[in-house]
Chain A
């Protein structure tokens, strides 16, 4: 199986490829440069992996939540790439990627991922590791004030993401004794989309490129004018 993954949902811009030879990744923190960099990074990573675009089985991308414009850059890019290559896609939650990254780096198996959503809110999700080593959502993701995040069941949770670095006190207080550790600032990386993407592709759950669509969570983005 040969997978490509792209994430541009936060300040980080990253691309990763998985082949039987291993995982190859480029990751940069480059706000507002995602569009300029993403395709060049794809070529670089494919080159390091020694494969070409035509060798890919599927393309995964960070479908959000995150910065709206960034999420759409990866989404539209992957729509075009997958349509052009005639390959299916796997949309993966940005919060899942954060949780998967925590597991890869620290071994934690239960992660409360939070991204700073601005406007006094966080994008929030609780993730646990399955037997296949893939982070699975235990509940629906949501956008909520840090003081009102849904409480997870059980204990031993690790908190991670920009939501935790921004609202550490509020979130720590809210989760209380269920929290084992606050890891704070953590950005998603494309390589952490790969476990979910590989499992989904193997299970026949990759979808047509038309279904490569963002998940924003925040849907109220404009006020209707008052009618006089």
Chain B
């Protein structure tokens, strides 16, 4: 089955074509980072405006690069939530319109299920069950993946997502957007120990996260003294270390609590080098799976994969252009269970 995957939940337009026999046939991603850079964060209306300009040209490009005729598409999968509703609706409308015209089955996919199953796009896939850390600009969650569509939320952020904290701290330090790579780059010049920030919520049991206090700590550090480039680098390093430490401490705890020995890291923050190194150090006894960077951040390929899994099981989202800003992962059922 060949499935067109469409991702428009935030500030990236991702289109992909996945073949359940042959694997990924092509995918493209258009980042809107430059659209939102001046605003220090994603402006939902501008995101929606950009998606609606990109959807069809990107679709044509994927099909051309894959050398696949439109007649060879068997299904359409699009992100139906969670995310920015206006942005989601552009992909949902385009996908449903296309499916309608060609008489194809269509399905609205849960964005986080896409991320959780992104490692399935790689040659080395984890066996079920596994543990997943979803860490991005919109999410910071620890999830036990018992099987396809069977997810248990073990921990979640009580305020900012880790990626969001990176963005806000980058803005505070005048480092630009998106904040993750900008803070990481500045941190390379930082002096270890110049600042020490707290590891929020690690002093009590549980797997939840909190990052807004760290952002405040960074702001106070900036306001305290002359924040020249060297000091900003020190703050960036202290901030990055605190976030990564916190994530790794919780991963260790989740591994110990569940007994699961496979860990998938998904989401844009998964690209952070310090996170990868620290996990290798402190979770050496765990098999770690990092989808390649382009599948860590938002992308159409993961939506095509998750959509294909559900379409193959007979699931359909019939002719409804709908999207949900909030959509608890726990509401999902194994493929085919609800149809």
Q: Are A38 and B98 in contact (CB under 8 A)?
A: no
Docked complex Cα distance between A39 and B102 (Å): 13
Known: A81-B100, A224-B38, A224-B39. A36 touches B93 (CB 8 A): no
A53: B residues at CB distance < 8 A = 100-101
**Cβ-defined contact, A84 with B92, below 8 A:** no
A residues bordering B, Cβ < 8 Å? Answer: 34-36, 38-40, 42-43, 53, 68-69, 72-85, 209-210, 212-214, 216, 221-222, 224-225
Contact B57 A76 (CB under 8 A): no
A32 to B210, CA, bound (A): 34
A199 CA / B336 CA spacing, docked (Å): 48
Excluding A68-B86, A77-B321, 12 further A-B contacts by CB distance (< 8 Å) are A34-B321, A83-B56, A83-B59, A83-B98, A85-B102, A209-B56, A210-B56, A210-B60, A212-B56, A214-B49, A221-B43, A225-B39
Which chain A residues border B93 with CB–CB below 8 Å?
A: 35, 72-77, 80
Find the B residue at minimum CB distance from A68.
Answer: B45
Chain A residues with CB under 8 A of B97: 39, 76-81, 84
- Contact A39–B321 (Cβ < 8 Å): yes
Chain A residues with Cβ below 8 Å from B188 are none
Residue among B59, B99, B321, B323 with the most chain A CB within 10 A? B321
Decide: A36 and B321 in contact? CB cutoff 8 A: yes
B48 on the A face (CB < 8 A): yes
Contact yes or no, B98 A84, CB < 8 A: yes
User: How many Å lie between the Cα of A171 and that of B209 in the bound state?
Assistant: 55
Chain A residues with CB under 8 Å of B46's CB are: 221-222
A210 to B245, CA, bound (A): 47
Q: Residue on A with the closest CB to B38?
A: A224
Whether A80 lies near B89 (C-beta < 8 A) is no
Residues of B within 8 A of A35 (CB): 89, 92-93, 320-323
B96 interface residue per 8 A CB criterion? yes
Contact, CB under 8 Å: B86 / A72: yes
A to B CB contacts below 8 Å, 19 in the list: A35-B323, A39-B97, A68-B49, A68-B86, A73-B93, A74-B93, A76-B89, A76-B97, A79-B94, A80-B97, A84-B97, A84-B101, A210-B56, A213-B52, A214-B52, A222-B43, A222-B45, A222-B46, A225-B40
Taking a contact as CB atoms under 8 Å apart, the answer to whether A73 and B321 are in contact is yes
**Which residue of A has the minimal Cβ distance to B6?**
A80
Closest to B92 in A: A35
Q: Which residues of B contact A214 (CB under 8 A)?
A: 49, 52
Of the residues A39, A68, A75, A85, contact of B319 by C-beta under 8 Å? A39
Q: Is B90's beta carbon under 8 Å from chain A?
A: yes
Beyond A35-B320, A69-B89, whether A81 also contacts B56 by CB under 8 A is: no
B binding-site residues for A, Cβ under 8 Å: 38-40, 43, 45-46, 48-49, 52-53, 55-57, 59-60, 70, 85-86, 89-102, 319-323
Residues on the B chain within 8 Å of A36, using CB: 320-322
- Do the beta carbons of B49 and A80 come within 8 Å of each other? no
Q: What is the chain B residue whose CB lies nearest that of A78?
A: B97
| In contact, B321 and A69 (Cβ under 8 angstroms) | no
A53 vs chain B, min Cβ distance (A):
6
B321 near A38 with CB under 8 A, answer yes
| Complex CA distance for A39 and B106, rounded to whole angstroms | 13
Residue of A nearest to B40 (CB): A225
Question: Which of A77, A80, A216, A225 gathers the greatest number of chain B CB atoms within 10 Å?
Answer: A80
| C-alpha gap A214/B90 in the complex (Å) | 12
With the chains together, A79 CA to B58 CA distance in Å?
Answer: 12
Distance between A54 CB and nearest chain B CB, rounded to angstroms: 9
Q: Tell me the minimal C-beta distance from B230 to chain A in angstroms.
A: 20
Cα A225 to Cα B37 in complex, Å, equals 11
Query: Are A80 and B57 in contact, with the CB atoms below 8 A?
Result: no
Q: Which residue of chain A lies nearest to B321 when distances are taken between CB atoms in the complex?
A: A35
Q: How far is the CA of A74 from the CA of B97 in the complex (A)?
A: 10
Closest to A212 in B: B56
From residue A55, how far is it (CB to closest CB) to chain B in Å? 13
* Choice from A68, A79, A225 contacting B48 with Cβ under 8 Å: A68
Chain B: minimal CB distance from A90 (Å) = 16
A213 to B56, CA, bound (A): 11
Is A210 touching B101 in the complex (CB atoms < 8 A)? Answer: no
Chain B residues within 8 Å of A210, by CB: 56-57, 60
Supposing A36-B322, A69-B86, A222-B39 touch, asked if A76 and B55 sit within 8 A by C-beta, the answer is: yes
Contact A39-B101, Cβ < 8 Å, known A68-B86, A222-B45, A224-B39: no
Instruction: Tell me the smallest distance from the CB of B198 to a CB of chain A, in Å.
Output: 26
B164 CB to closest chain A CB (Å) equals 16
Beta-carbon nearest neighbor of B97 in chain A: A80
Residues of B within 8 A of A84 (CB): 70, 97-102
Q: Tell me, rounded to whole Å, the shortest Cβ–Cβ distance linking B92 to chain A.
A: 7
Q: CA of A81 to CA of B38 in the docked complex: distance in angstroms?
A: 35
Give chain B nearest CB distance to A218 CB in angstroms: 10
A18 to B64, CA, bound (A): 34
Q: Which of B59, B93, B94, B320 has the most CB of A within 10 A?
A: B93
